[in-house]
Every structure is written in C-alpha cells, then in structure tokens.
Structure 1
C-alpha cells in the first residue's frame, strides 16, 4: 500500500499564520525524504484555522524545492475560477516539475457563501457549472481542442510540454464519485470530513459506473484520512487533544486556531462534551506507529484502496513530523 500526505497549513495558537505556510514547506521536504508518494495542499478562504488559501502558489514553492514527490491540490475549488486560468496555472506548475503535478478539483466553496461570492468576479458563476468546467479543464490540460461552437475552441493553455498534470476529482459524497466515473478521472474521497460515512457507497458507485479514459483506463481511488502516531499511545492522545477540542468547539460554531494540549487541559469538558470526545476517540486513527498502521491497513483492505492520503494536525510541528516518520517506518 502507498501513503501520501495532505496538508492544510493549520494555524496554531502562539504563532502567526504565516508561520503555518512555512511549516507546510518544511513538511513537504521532510515527507519527500521519508518516501511519501504525493504531497497535496488544500484551499480554504477566510478561515481562522485553515490558512492555506492559494494552493497553486504554495505548490510552486514546494515543486521548486523538492525533486521526486508528486505535488498537488486537494483541491482547487473550481467554481471560484475560470477553467482556462486554472489550466494555465497548472501547466506552468507542470513546466516547473514535469511529471509531478496533480490537479485535484472540487466544487465545495471552501469558505462561507459570502466569501465565496467575493471570490468570483462573475456573479453568474456557480457550482451548477462545475461539470462543464471539469470538461473544459480536462481539454485544456491535455492540449485537446474544445468542440465546434464552444467559445474556447482554438484557445490553448500555455505553456505546453511533453507531459500534463494529472487531474483528480475530490469528493465527500456520491456526486463527486459519479462525476469522476463519468469523466474517467481518479477519485479522492475525503474520509476525514465525513468520518467515514458514505465512503463505501461512493467508492462502489465510482467503480461500478467508471468510464475508461485514455489516461486512466481503470478506476483509481484513494482515501484522505486523518491520523496521528507517536512513540507511545499516551503521547499520541496527548497531541490529539488539540484536534479533539477544536472539533468539539467547531460543532458549536466556534472556529479558532488549533490549541495546544496545555491550553486544552485548562478547559475541562462538560458532560456533554465528554460524550463527544469519547465518540471521537473511538473512531480516531491515533496511537503508536504500529497501532495506527494496523488501523490504516484494515481500512484500506475493507474499502479496497491501495493508497491512503494522510492528514495530521498537531500544535507541535515536531510531533507532526514525527508522526509521518513513524508511519513511513511501518509502510516503506
């Protein structure tokens, strides 16, 4: 089984947000040295926790400072943008790192709806046009002309070259799975967003309805999973406490930077919050390296996937890097 990485440039208490971007760059180089297959970055806007707002810019820095690992977006929220501009950005990235660029696209806003409206200069642009944008983007990335009568016919996304970015469909529901199958695209299911709900159904739909494409003659699916490993199980739960507190607060509408375990300890749970915490812990991929690896292998076997994309939050960047080291030791 192969392992990859998804990083969201998470803001943490006690440090400025710009430090989180630089930590993403450090983590990318670290994970390349460990042998991970891909390093993906996300797109969120006006979010007090997740501050990676421009994956195409961050990818350029990662691509320029690494040499082997695939670099990708997970993803570009396509309804915010013109498909041609996205194609141009990713053709430039492909020129920087030939054969190493993944373009993951999604239709979710990655923000609240007011922010989403401000991101688009065209008020008519909406998620309803997402399937059309996907078709256009596929053509421009591959250097294939659009159909007769299309306003973009004859327009090219430069720079062209001998290779093209690999396009992925992202999703956390049946919609993305069906669209990926229709267009013959690889599919990444956001298991960490749904806590696994709907994963089996979405993957079954994807595989059953897959239409082979020239670049992808067979379906290719990955799961994006939240996991954290440490040298001991107790240490892992210690570092998990910030994420746990964050999720409980988020469920009540309070978003903020990720707290440290020490800060979490100063805010004892109410009985209702304790019940939430117990539920989170029961389903979490947290523990020692061997413990987390066993859980990840079991998940991959159950859902019949050969690659997992691991996302890890920790207030201490050293703890996060150590988590990826321990998982690499188990899988590579």
Structure 2
C-alpha cells in the first residue's frame, strides 16, 4: 500500500522474562539498524527508571550507540524527563549527539517523572515543581538553538558546546492538554502519546495544539501521534503475540510490575474488573495482519490530519518484534 505516510519507531527496551536485561539494550540498537533498512523515518528511545518492565533508563547514551550504527534514520528521545536534569547539561549532551549524527537528532522532552516520586527524588534531590517546567523548556530551547538568554539570566552569554552547522530538533511530548498548549505557545513540534492513554484525549490535544500554535521554532504546526501496533503474518499469530502486552497492561493497572512474559505464559484468570479492562484493550488494540493494520493506520492518520505515526511494538520474542516492523513497512510501501 504505497503512500506518503511516514512511519517511525519508539522503542522502550522492554525487559523480557527469562532473558538478561543487557540483551534488551543491545536489541534496541540492533532494532534501530533493522528499522533504518526498512525505511522508517525516526527511531526514538524512552526514559524510565526503577520500572521492572522497561530498562531503557538513559536514552542519550543509547542514542550515541544508535548514531554509530546508522547513517540515515533520525534518532531521538521520547523523551528526556526534563525536571530530573539541568537544561544546560541536556543541551550539551544533545549538541554532542548532533555532532556525532549531524542533522539527525530529535530532542523530545516531557515533564512526567518516568518513575515513582521516590525514584524521581533520587534522580534529582532538588526536583523542581511542575510549574517550573516552562522555564526549563525555554532555557533548553535557547541553548539548543543558540538564542540569547534574557538580560539578568545567570546563563546569559554561556553557550552549550559544541556549536556546529546543525542543531537538535526540540520536540514537546505529552499525553494531555498541558503539553499540547505549551508546544503551541512556543512553536515547537508536538508528539501525542496515544499508547499511554489508549487514544483518550488525542484529538482534543491535537486540536488545542493547532489552535494555540504561534510561530517559534517552527513556522507551522507539526504533530505526530505515537501509538501501539503489532503485526504478524496472520491475525491469529498477531493476537497470540499480543497476549504478552495485554497481560503487562492489565497487571500494571493493578500495581503489578515485572518483565514481559512470553505469550504462552501470559494468560491468567482475570477478575471481573480486569476482564472488562482486557476487553476494552483488545477493542482498541491495533493488531492483526499487515494489510489490515496498514489500512487502519492510514485511516487514523487521515482522521488526525498527521502525515507521520510513531509505532510502539512489544513482543516477548525480539524476532517477532522485528518481523512486525518488516511486514508493516512492506504493507505501507516504506522501503
């Protein structure tokens, strides 16, 4: 199904039961190479801390490894949880990344902790209040783009190095109206985390972003939607692989966290409330054979008025994850 729809990837370095955690990190790097070959536009990496299901704790480090093993695909964070860090240090890290992969670096930022509050305090004992997030974004934007900070700012006159002919592309990430409004106000590109909300609030956030947008880093709005999708040769096989993700999502909603289970071990007896959640999850899930999923993605992109979707794919078997991206790339005519 050839089209102008761009597809990108968000990988979270999922911890798989029975496999060492370092394998998940190496698999993420190998997956980036694989997705570049199949024509994906971006490869983004998430940040989570002290969460037994996800071991991608340092996207900026993984991005450097991906940069060394790829040539074309854009590489990004989805995202750096900015309240944990000094904006100046983040700007330096991403300028170094841009020197390694000129013109290919996306700096996606968010304000969610990516962890629990106790872990957030360990990452930054002087954790700023969420109201301070806009100031952090403004500082980061200045250091990334080379703008001058205002008179009286303690960082005025200090540059984030190295300064090169290109610069990272700053993105705002979000799953609510807050990020959409801030992205619009600052003229930043915006990514909505559909895979976190199961789509709730997606259209409202995109509408708010576009209606509040004013020229800044960009002259016109640019939005992508990050959503979960899983493809296999047949519907039956795709839904079999989905059992791992379903179990992880249901367990998480009830406070149980752990490595992703293989589909053969994932099913268990749900409570009545859990069964309701599971049915809703299956109804919303984008799972199936390649052509069916490709058509659904095209329909969603048209409905949301976006020309790029970023895909999150969880499987216990890394080979099944790679195959999902292959099949979907072929069905959408990427390569």
Between the aligned partners of 1:158 and 1:121, the Cα distance in structure 2 is: 26
Instruction: Map 1:19-168; keep pairs closer than 5 Å.
Output: 19-123=23-127, 125-168=128-171
Q: Who is 1:315 aligned against?
A: 316
Between the aligned partners of 1:42 and 1:272, the Cα distance in structure 2 is: 30
Between the aligned partners of 2:168 and 2:66, the Cα distance in structure 1 is: 15
SS of 2:229's equivalent in the other structure is strand
SS of 2:109's equivalent in the other structure is strand
TM-score (norm 2): 0.96
Between the aligned partners of 1:330 and 1:262, the Cα distance in structure 2 is: 28
From 223, 232, 235, give the equivalent of 2:234. Answer: 232
From 16, 20, 25, give the equivalent of 1:16. Answer: 20
How far 1:273 moved relative to its partner?
A: 3.2
Between the aligned partners of 1:270 and 1:117, the Cα distance in structure 2 is: 35
SS of 2:94's equivalent in the other structure is helix
SS of 1:118's equivalent in the other structure is helix
Q: Who is 1:182 aligned against?
A: 185
Between the aligned partners of 2:144 and 2:60, the Cα distance in structure 1 is: 15
Q: Who is 1:223 aligned against?
A: 225
SS of 1:84's equivalent in the other structure is helix
How far 1:97 moved relative to its partner?
A: 0.2
Between the aligned partners of 2:241 and 2:224, the Cα distance in structure 1 is: 26
How far 1:173 moved relative to its partner?
A: 0.3
Instruction: Map 1:239-318; keep pairs closer than 5 Å.
Output: 239-265=241-267, 267-318=268-319
TM-score (norm 1): 0.97
How far 1:272 moved relative to its partner?
A: 4.0
- Residue 166 of structure 2 is aligned to residue 171 of structure 1: no
Between the aligned partners of 1:6 and 1:48, the Cα distance in structure 2 is: 18
Between the aligned partners of 1:182 and 1:251, the Cα distance in structure 2 is: 33
Between the aligned partners of 2:269 and 2:213, the Cα distance in structure 1 is: 49
Between the aligned partners of 1:128 and 1:46, the Cα distance in structure 2 is: 25
> Which deviations, in whole Å up to 9, do the C-alpha atoms of 1:91-137 show, x marking residues without a partner?
000000000000000000000001001101425x2322110011111
Which segments of structure 1 move beyond 4 Å, counting only runs of 4 or more? Answer: none
Q: Gaps (5+ residues) in structure 2?
A: none
- Residue 3 of structure 2 is aligned to residue 2 of structure 1: no
Between the aligned partners of 1:189 and 1:62, the Cα distance in structure 2 is: 24
> Which deviations, in whole Å up to 9, do the C-alpha atoms of 1:181-228 show, x marking residues without a partner?
011000000001011111111100100110112x41100000000000
> Which deviations, in whole Å up to 9, do the C-alpha atoms of 1:211-260 show, x marking residues without a partner?
112x4110000000000000000000000000001111111110110111
Cα RMSD after superposing both structures = 1.0
Between the aligned partners of 1:168 and 1:313, the Cα distance in structure 2 is: 24
Instruction: Return the structure number with greater relative CO, CA threshold 8 A, min gap 6.
Output: 2
How far 1:143 moved relative to its partner?
A: 1.4
Between the aligned partners of 1:131 and 1:276, the Cα distance in structure 2 is: 35
Between the aligned partners of 1:92 and 1:122, the Cα distance in structure 2 is: 26
How far 1:30 moved relative to its partner?
A: 0.2
> Which deviations, in whole Å up to 9, do the C-alpha atoms of 1:272-323 show, x marking residues without a partner?
4333222211110000001111111111111111100000000000000000
Between the aligned partners of 2:257 and 2:171, the Cα distance in structure 1 is: 29
Between the aligned partners of 1:146 and 1:251, the Cα distance in structure 2 is: 43
